[in-house]
Structure 1
Amino acid sequence: MLLPSTPLSVALALSLSWPVFAAPQVKSSAGQVMSLKRRSPSDRTIEEWGVWAKNHKAGLEAKYGAGQPQKRSTGTNLITNQNSDSSYFGSLAIGTPAVSFDVILDTGSADLWVAGSTCQTGCENVPTFDPTASTSFQNQSTTFSITYGSGQASGALAKDVVQMAGFSVTNQVFAVCDQISSGLLSNPVSGLLGLGFQTIASSKATPLWQTLVSNGAWTDPVMAFYLTRYINQSNADSLEFGGSFTMGFTNTSLYTGEIDYISLPTTGSYWILPLSTLTVQGTQVSLPSGSASYAAIDTGTTLVGGPSQYIAEIFAQIPGSAPGTGNFQSYYTYPCSTSVSVQLSFGGKNWSISPQDFQLSQLTKELCLGAFFELSTGGSAPSWIVGDTFLKNVYSVFRYNPASVGFAQLSDFALANSGSTTESVPSATIGSAATSVSATGRSPTRSTSDTISDIKVSRTSLVSIAFFWTIMAIAGLLI
């Protein structure tokens, strides 16, 4: 999760590879879909894992401060999974004519920014946005800067048409960055899309998602994630099918049973829930109540971070575990022979974290690194940051009104696609938007076109498009 003037989540700190383009935007009675893509990491040495772990902790601490419409619609964007669950990104399109860009999807921040064509540092081999190529571009002549634990991005604010998953927003404020810290971006990712509330936006602008939902563009005031798992899978590629991000509806083919919604104890900033119980190896860890229990549900963060005393209690339930040293300080190691069972509850049902996800990495033949680590946040930031280590195990829903986050059990269909190396990485196309709204508050309108236009893909992308339609049909999303 990336917040205003906060660190870019681990997602961006990790290396990103392969270009991925905006998801197909198609009109459907059920809605459009945005696929996520996932990238797997190359093998790391213990030293490399140590550097990664240290940067991940520093990044989160910096990020959290050590702040009557016409017919509505739905949309889906297929996701890419990067580096074996290190990060998940989707795609959107900017400008006229529209050009697609891959962006980290982050419920822990609220700004949209991309690298610009005049970028001077930190954007080598990264697709960049050229303002002069868009006839609808409006320079706001306002400086922008955002700081993450792993670096900083700065530039200027602008307005333009932004499209995503079949939706189009005119006059959307975003930042075009020309100074980016080295390593913050890596091909194919060009920036970040914040999915938090406006109050935490460094730009002070209304986020893309909030413009859509507040204008009544969505059938239901929800957005949802299904994330795939490839962690510690040796045959995984750097980019894999990552799941889906939906706007305006929940995909019933991806979960079973009811969605367990928990109201936000505080609204208008992060997607926060109270962490009420935490159970490890059958033993419940004693947790505080009130604001000390608050946890940010953060799609832009890889792991789970929390106060040192409770992280220590978690690993105290695992025989043979030990605190890390050096770059692994604030992390814990444990015997790889131990299958660790962890359950979290936010005031409703108990949700299990797979032992696969608890094991961040196997450092030696016998020693493994845990995915929970000690984290110190500051100010009004929540004490816990719950990232993809947990979110891969559930179908997660972020509801605007009433403000809440919900979880549901993944369906057999969803589980079958997780970890499958036969699934194609989604490729994006740019199509005509089915629903359009203005960031200035104009009522949403429907376009008269329901065809996909301006398709710009390589020959290899055609395979992914065929897969996209196959998945849509199976999932019952084809319209």
Structure 2
Amino acid sequence: MVAIQVLFNIALATVAYGAAIPNDISKRADDGQGFVALDFDVLRKPLNLTKALLHEKRNSISLSLINEGPSYAAKVSVGSNKQQQTVIIDTGSSDFWVVDSNAQCEDDVDCKSSGTFNPSSSSSYKSLGSEFAIQYGDGSTSEGTWGKDTVTINGVSITGQQLADVTQTSVEQGILGIGYASNEAVTDQYGNPTIQNYDNVPVTLKKQGKINTNAYSLYLNSPTAESGTIIFGGVDNAKYSGKLISEQVTQSNQLTISLASINVKGSSYSFGQDVLLDSGTTLTFFPSDFAAELANQVGAELRQVGEGKTLYFIDCNTDTSGSTTFSFGNGASISVPNSEYVYPNGDGTCIWGIQASRDTILGDNFLRHAYLLYNLDANTISIAQVKYTSSSSISAV
């Protein structure tokens, strides 16, 4: 999820439950190798035109995840008594927060359905007495209190981890942000500092010796796959073709790199701006002028879908042969099949897979075709064309 960025939450109208990652990978735990593999199942929600999400912003521990449309939800536990939580793993934000057992859910949101936390039942919980508050771009908010406790991920525990115990929220479930610590929510709703920047979960994993490097690699698998993998502190060298090419992160608090150009249906368009690589986004988003150029090339049309909201639609029978190629500043190049840009809407119309936004985000319809290694210590994101395979060759970063 990205904090304070505009995106539409659009997912395919299919539901898939996953086959497991091969046993030799999914059963690995922290054994001194410096990485832990984390597998997930895919769950795709029905396409929803009216729901707009704005996110401000998101080695190897193995556990099950569930893809929540543009997000991945993992089971972790908090406290001395290991209270289970299902939280969104988010590359676009940086804070870990859970829903208190007495929390007030706002806006008809069932915020307690994915597990709650009772701090009084954990002997290792320590309240810090400072206010936690975060607001996402769609206006959804969470408020609570900062504290510290033991966090357990697939049997691997880190102690004294700072987290927020949320007592009021309009978000459906807790979030495990794994982005830069510099992007943490350390101010109140008015922008006043409430606490200093701290070691978030990836930093703590490294400092407590569970991973060697604050890094993680992402493999979403094929568009129809039922499972994929994220590896904290490691990289699976069997999951990509050619070489991983390192692109420099271009912002101090977000995982952005420079996109040089895009080739669409034989025409090349120079871009030369930052793009956010965000696993919490389903589609691809560009500034309105650039999105309009691409739309004109493919025949997509802008239509009103609600008061003050517009989306690009495309002919469901459009030719989807060939690929769109994304070229990055340091030479990395990823080809994405044009079939990724036609999303049936269930009423005979189709959504175009590239939409207009204030910000530029390459979401899941791009990320499925790239293997990515986010290295927050080196401030790089390494990219290669993905290879869909059950083979695995993991090494620590």
Q: Secondary structure at the match of 2:218?
A: strand
User: Which residue of structure 2 aligns with residue 34 of structure 1?
Assistant: 38
1:109 has 2:93 as partner: yes
Cα separation, 1, equivalents of 2:355 and 2:314 = 13
**Matches for 1:302-317 after TM superposition, within 5 Å:** 302-317=282-297
1:195 has 2:178 as partner: yes
Cα contact 2:84–2:116 (8 A) shared by 1 = no
Cα separation, 2, equivalents of 1:177 and 1:304 = 31
Cα separation, 2, equivalents of 1:11 and 1:224 = 24
Cα separation, 2, equivalents of 1:389 and 1:113 = 27
Shift of 1:337: 1.7
User: Which residue of structure 1 aligns with residue 205 of structure 2?
Assistant: 212
User: Which residue of structure 2 aligns with residue 462 of structure 1?
Assistant: none
Which structure has more strand as a fraction of its residues?
A: 2
Q: Secondary structure at the match of 1:212?
A: helix
Alignment CA distance shift 1:205-1:241 (3 Å): farther
- Over residues 101-160 of structure 1, what are the superposed CA-to-partner deviations in whole Å (9 max), with x where a residue is unaligned? 221111111111111111122424331011122110111111111111341111111100
User: Which residue of structure 2 aligns with residue 50 of structure 1?
Assistant: 49
Greater RCO, 1 or 2 (C-alpha within 8 Å, sep 6+): 1
1:172 has 2:161 as partner: yes
Alignment CA distance shift 1:166-1:275 (3 Å): farther
User: Which residue of structure 1 aligns with residue 191 of structure 2?
Assistant: none
Cα contact 1:33–1:165 (8 A) shared by 2 = no
Shift of 1:363: 4.8
1:360 to 336, 339, 343: 343
Which structure has more helix as a fraction of its residues?
A: 1
Q: Secondary structure at the match of 1:273?
A: strand
1:389 has 2:372 as partner: no
Shift of 1:362: 3.6
Q: Percent identity?
A: 23
Cα contact 1:2–1:194 (8 A) shared by 2 = no
Q: Secondary structure at the match of 1:135?
A: coil
Cα separation, 2, equivalents of 1:8 and 1:192 = 18
- Over residues 393-428 of structure 1, what are the superposed CA-to-partner deviations in whole Å (9 max), with x where a residue is unaligned? 1111101232100112222415xxxxxxxxxxxxxx
Cα separation, 1, equivalents of 2:337 and 2:60 = 31
2:301 to 319, 322, 344: 322
Opposite residue 368 of structure 2, the aligned amino acid is K
- Over residues 359-402 of structure 1, what are the superposed CA-to-partner deviations in whole Å (9 max), with x where a residue is unaligned? 2334543x3111211112xxxxxx41222121111111101232
Alignment CA distance shift 1:154-1:14 (3 Å): farther
- Over residues 265-289 of structure 1, what are the superposed CA-to-partner deviations in whole Å (9 max), with x where a residue is unaligned? 333x0011011111211211232x4
2:145 to 156, 170, 174: 156
2:380 to 401, 404, 407: 404
Cα separation, 2, equivalents of 1:170 and 1:403 = 26
User: Which residue of structure 1 aligns with residue 279 of structure 2?
Assistant: 299
Cα contact 1:305–1:375 (8 A) shared by 2 = yes
User: Which residue of structure 2 aligns with residue 81 of structure 1?
Assistant: 67
Cα contact 1:24–1:165 (8 A) shared by 2 = no
1:137 has 2:125 as partner: yes
Opposite residue 36 of structure 1, the aligned amino acid is F
1:270 has 2:217 as partner: no
Cα contact 1:7–1:149 (8 A) shared by 2 = yes
Shift of 1:322: 0.9
1:127 has 2:123 as partner: no
Structure 1, 141-150 or 118-127: larger mean CA deviation: 118-127
Query: Aligned-pair RMSD on alpha carbons?
Result: 3.2
Q: Secondary structure at the match of 1:313?
A: helix
User: Which residue of structure 1 aligns with residue 21 of structure 2?
Assistant: none
Q: Secondary structure at the match of 2:236?
A: coil
Cα separation, 2, equivalents of 1:12 and 1:134 = 38
2:354 to 351, 356, 372: 372
- Over residues 10-39 of structure 1, what are the superposed CA-to-partner deviations in whole Å (9 max), with x where a residue is unaligned? 679999x9999xx86734465532112321
Cα separation, 2, equivalents of 1:370 and 1:212 = 39
Shift of 1:166: 5.3
Alignment CA distance shift 1:132-1:7 (3 Å): farther
TM superposition score normalised by structure 2: 0.82
Opposite residue 29 of structure 2, the aligned amino acid is V
User: Which residue of structure 1 aligns with residue 245 of structure 2?
Assistant: 260
Structure 1, 137-146 or 201-210: larger mean CA deviation: 201-210
Note the residue ranges of structure 2 that are not aligned, 5 or more in a row.
Answer: 19-25, 187-196
Cα contact 1:81–1:241 (8 A) shared by 2 = no
Alignment CA distance shift 1:281-1:13 (3 Å): closer
Cα separation, 2, equivalents of 1:10 and 1:178 = 27
Opposite residue 374 of structure 1, the aligned amino acid is A
User: Which residue of structure 1 aligns with residue 217 of structure 2?
Assistant: 224
Shift of 1:324: 1.7
Cα separation, 2, equivalents of 1:297 and 1:94 = 29
Cα separation, 2, equivalents of 1:358 and 1:202 = 34
- Over residues 236-286 of structure 1, what are the superposed CA-to-partner deviations in whole Å (9 max), with x where a residue is unaligned? xxxx8441111111012322332111011333x001101111121121123
Cα contact 1:10–1:86 (8 A) shared by 2 = no
Shift of 1:476: 5.9
State the number of aligned residues.
Answer: 367
Shift of 1:317: 0.7
Cα contact 2:7–2:357 (8 A) shared by 1 = no
Note the residue ranges of structure 1 that are not aligned, 5 or more in a row.
Answer: 68-72, 234-239, 377-382, 415-473
